[in-house]
Structure 1
Amino acid sequence: MKKEKKEDRSSVKYEVAQELGLLEKIDRKGWDSLTAKESGKIGGYISKKRFK
């Protein structure tokens, strides 16, 4: 299995954040402003997409 490039992972994070409606918050306040629940949703969604 190939390792993903850092840019690829970052772009997926932004894509998922947009799909979940969190991108505006991230743009305004940064990634640190996300709650643990919001961060977990992003991580879970990325994992789901990766293993589909």
Structure 2
Amino acid sequence: MTEKDLLKIEIAKEIGIWDQVQNEGWESLSNAVCGKVGGLMSKRLRNGSKS
């Protein structure tokens, strides 16, 4: 698992979608939720993984 995968999982847990991802997979998420996860990942990667 890559560092980006771990970051994506961490964010999913923080915003409360991790249970859905585990049960139904990433493809079950709406475009809006995927965009939110991606945006938060980009922000953290730019800022050095600061919360």
The two structures have a TM-score, normalised by structure 1, of 0.83
Q: How many residues align?
A: 47
Q: Which structure 1 residue ranges, 5 or more long, are not aligned?
A: 1-5
How many percent identity over aligned positions? 32
Q: Decide which structure has the larger Cα Rg and report it.
A: 1
Moved over 4 A (4+): none
CA RMSD of aligned residues (A): 1.0
Q: What are the equivalent positions in structure 2 for 1:1-52 lying under 5 Å apart? A: 7-52=2-47
Q: Which structure 2 residue ranges, 5 or more long, are not aligned?
A: none
The two structures have a TM-score, normalised by structure 2, of 0.85
